[in-house]
């Protein structure tokens, strides 16, 4: 078993650490795709709260304490996303690579560079 305090640096290792964490607590029974997706959105909302009412410029100016809090919310959101991918047997790296390839087709550099339009607006 991985030491829960051991720092890891790969997605595969993080997947294993998360599985061990869940197994040790017998939480699999609660981790339906619906519950995990809802929990992830709750955490994402908590992340957004840190920036609510900030200007664009203020959103970059985080105190060390605020940066740590934001980091916790990003991590919570990421862990739920990772767990959802585990439960649904979706390889996040593969899915992300495929999505980037699809987006490259939807948003060709010559049409999208420097613009924030949706791809349907390029037609």
Q: Tell me the pTM.
A: 0.86
Residue 50, class by beta-carbon neighbours within 10 Å (0-12 exposed, 13-18 middle, 19+ buried)? middle
Cα three-residue angle 10-35-102, rounded to 5 degrees: 55
Model confidence over 50-66: pLDDT tens digits?
A: 999 999 999 999 999 99
Give the span between the Cα atoms of 29 and 73, in whole angstroms. 24
Q: Hey, what domains does the chain have and what are their CATH numbers?
A: 11-110 (1.10.287.1080)
Model confidence over 64-91: pLDDT tens digits?
A: 999 999 999 999 999 999 999 999 999 9
């Amino acid at each position: 078993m991985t030491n829960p305090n051991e720092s890891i640096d790969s997605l595969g290792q993080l997947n294993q650490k998360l599985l061990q964490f869940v197994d040790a607590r017998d939480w699999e029974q609660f981790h339906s795709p619906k519950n995990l997706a809802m929990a992830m959105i709750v955490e994402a909302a908590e992340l957004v709260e840190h920036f609510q009412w900030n200007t664009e410029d203020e959103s970059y100016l985080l105190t060390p304490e605020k940066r740590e809090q934001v980091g916790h919310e990003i991590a919570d959101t990421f862990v739920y996303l990772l767990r959802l991918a585990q439960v649904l047997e979706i390889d996040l790296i593969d899915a992300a690579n495929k999505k980037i390839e699809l987006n490259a087709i939807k948003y060709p550099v010559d049409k999208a560079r420097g613009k924030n339009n949706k791809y349907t607006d390029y037609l």
